[in-house]
Structure 1
């Protein structure tokens, strides 16, 4: 019996150390994110030709409004709005063409964003584009977004991630999702950039050297997490991903638990896919001096934050009844440190909005959604789990 007790005690300590490392990683980059980045510049001597790409899957309403906004964007150089249409209605395609957007239709037995982008960009490779700007179907660029991106490329960057932020915070769940987006920006983009690492790609609001992106997509394969696959491929090439913290792309946030669960199912499936794929490769790359790749692989080991918060809360409770493993103060310290990490990562402007405190009541539902997502990841491998969108306008006083 003593042996069994010893094994249980060791297992709890292993869990404790693992969760401690999770909290330390998040806290380090959250603190780093408190420091400022240089202000983005928008002046340039040359203006590159930009392809603004909208990969679109069965979204017949919101794409029209998003394209209308993109076509009105002011840029001193040449840019073209291109819709990669997968499953759009013929009448939607006709409206988009009449508006002045270019249209490339794709037909796949199993749709992925990576395949759609690769096909479209291959069709456009003779159009002499210098930059590919990728937007989601619901995204709206802030004023002068393309000027800032062009200037960043003129400074020598090959990849740029803008600050994606909430378009709508009109429901409690949307507000909570907006907070989560900003925590991600703070820890995985701004915090990383402050210490000299690449920002993590987020799937949209990102710009690439056109030729380089096409070469990446030609080798991306079929995956539910194109942005994460690109992250690893870029890290392997030792190319830096710049982050423009003060240049915004507005993105619609999920409004209810069902959509949240569906979206997180795809995200968790992606994380598990790359954990299996790159866990050992990350350590091998570290010994080769590729800290960037190692850092990306470390991120796949992290417990999703909502789950981590719930798990640490449970560990605090169990410590009052369980004699095994770390003591009560250990678990309480981890839980409090994670709460503080999240608090300093949420933008200060949110604290003056009382909707934040109502939105916090949605955290238990979000935790339940994450648990359901964990048991549903097989669905993400069998189908393209697109997040449904509606036509939301941008709320004011965001910045």
Structure 2
């Protein structure tokens, strides 16, 4: 029991310290200063790639929203990769100035869709902007990305992804989780010189580079984790930019929450196992700390909600169960973790909606626990998260 308690204290203590370090550092992050590109000069040709699987309900509103960019229309093209769409939806999309590429895979994945589309549209683009089928870019997003990529050394940028909706308690909590992750894993990491972890959408890359890397991938789930590790393996660091904003629909029901988290947890285990040895070798041979951080440290962390639940449980047990560990040590872990979370919550989200949404935490904890014990096979098949036609809040 004493050995187990020491292992638990070390694991939870390390992660509490990790989160606090990056949460505190995130307060010092500042987005890169860039000048707007003069009209008619240095405009990159951007392919906005939207892989979409059976998203008939949202795709038209998403297309309309993303066409409303202040970036010159002749320098960007929206490419909808339509997988499993109804014929009436495809007909409806013809009224918009976008390219629609129909695909129908036996086993659908984002990587397959992106590779098919990139091959179909050719190489006349400078940048690729990847979105999810529910994402809507803020109107200056492409202009901001273009201004950043004037820096010829820059290869990849993860923009800030923000909640598109907060229409129920589940969506509020999901949006809160995204905001905390942005602060700790993106702002905090950039502030300390690490590469920014990718989210999976709202991200831009040099076109030919991402085309080459995606062609080498066959991910079923978690394509963003594999993509970021392949970038880091090549020494490509990802910049995080809070001013290149994409709005993302947050999950609104228990079933979508469970399926999404089950897929995410499975992805962690898959890539921890796949890249563990390589991460150790690159750390000691090349000093590639960002690769180690993304492949090993982040993938070995419990999802935050599970971490918090188990942390409070073990702290309570330490007060009553002999040899379970020092209550003072657990109390310190609780203090660091709670402080890191508080530091990471945006002031704009500290409102009545968040207070009411907190009542849903016990339910979401048990959903996460269920997902943890149901991960087998979750990364071997595509698990689709359905979306609604919500506009940006």
TM-score interval for Structure 1 and Structure 2 normalised by the shorter chain: over 0.9
Distance 1:24 1:36 in 2: 19
1:260 to 235, 249, 257: 257
Q: Which residue of 2 aligns with 1:210?
A: 207
Query: What is the CA-CA distance between 1:176 and the residue it aligns to?
Result: 0.8
1:184 to 181, 186, 209: 181
- TM-score normalized by structure 1? 0.94
Q: Is the 8 A contact 1:238 1:292 kept in 2?
A: no
Q: Which residue of 2 aligns with 1:3?
A: none
Distance 1:41 1:349 in 2: 26
Provide Cα deviations, 1:323-357, integer angstroms capped at 9, x if missing partner: 12421111122122211111110101111x21111
Check if 1:199 corresponds to 2:188: no
Query: What is the CA-CA distance between 1:115 and the residue it aligns to?
Result: 1.1
Q: Which residue of 1 aligns with 2:12?
A: 19
Query: What is the CA-CA distance between 1:42 and the residue it aligns to?
Result: 5.4
Query: What is the CA-CA distance between 1:39 and the residue it aligns to?
Result: 4.6
1:58 to 54, 57, 70: 54
Distance 1:151 1:252 in 2: 26
1:365 to 363, 366, 380: 363
Provide Cα deviations, 1:110-161, integer angstroms capped at 9, x if missing partner: 11101110111011224x0111111111111112110100011111311111
Q: Which residue of 2 aligns with 1:37?
A: 30
Distance 1:32 1:222 in 2: 32
Q: Which residue of 1 aligns with 2:375?
A: 377
After superposing the two structures, state which structure 1 stretch, 375-384 or 220-229, moved more.
375-384
Q: Which residue of 1 aligns with 2:302?
A: 303
Query: What is the CA-CA distance between 1:321 and the residue it aligns to?
Result: 2.4
Provide Cα deviations, 1:208-251, integer angstroms capped at 9, x if missing partner: 11100111111112331100000100010011111111221101
Check if 1:135 corresponds to 2:131: yes
1:105 to 102, 105, 126: 102
Q: Is the 8 A contact 2:20 2:337 kept in 1?
A: yes
Distance 2:367 2:220 in 1: 23
Q: Is the 8 A contact 2:267 2:379 kept in 1?
A: no
Distance 1:38 1:235 in 2: 21
Distance 1:266 1:207 in 2: 24
1:96 to 93, 112, 124: 93
Provide Cα deviations, 1:346-389, integer angstroms capped at 9, x if missing partner: 101111x2111111111111111111111221252343111110
Q: Secondary structure at the match of 1:154?
A: coil
Q: Is the 8 A contact 1:75 1:146 kept in 2?
A: yes
Q: Which residue of 1 aligns with 2:140?
A: 144
Matches within 5 A, 1:222-301: 222-288=219-285, 289-297=287-295, 298-301=297-300
Check if 1:173 corresponds to 2:166: no
Check if 1:74 corresponds to 2:70: yes
Q: Which residue of 2 aligns with 1:83?
A: 80
Q: Secondary structure at the match of 2:71?
A: coil
Distance 2:83 2:216 in 1: 21
Q: Which residue of 2 aligns with 1:354?
A: 352
Distance 1:38 1:121 in 2: 30
Q: Secondary structure at the match of 2:212?
A: helix
Distance 2:12 2:379 in 1: 28
After superposing the two structures, state which structure 1 stretch, 34-43 or 138-147, moved more.
34-43
Q: Is the 8 A contact 1:39 1:246 kept in 2?
A: no
Distance 1:88 1:223 in 2: 20
Q: Which residue of 2 aligns with 1:328?
A: 327
Q: Secondary structure at the match of 2:247?
A: strand
Distance 2:115 2:288 in 1: 27
Distance 1:281 1:173 in 2: 38
Q: Which runs of 5+ in 2 are unaligned?
A: none
Distance 2:218 2:377 in 1: 19
Distance 2:33 2:112 in 1: 32
Distance 1:54 1:42 in 2: 28
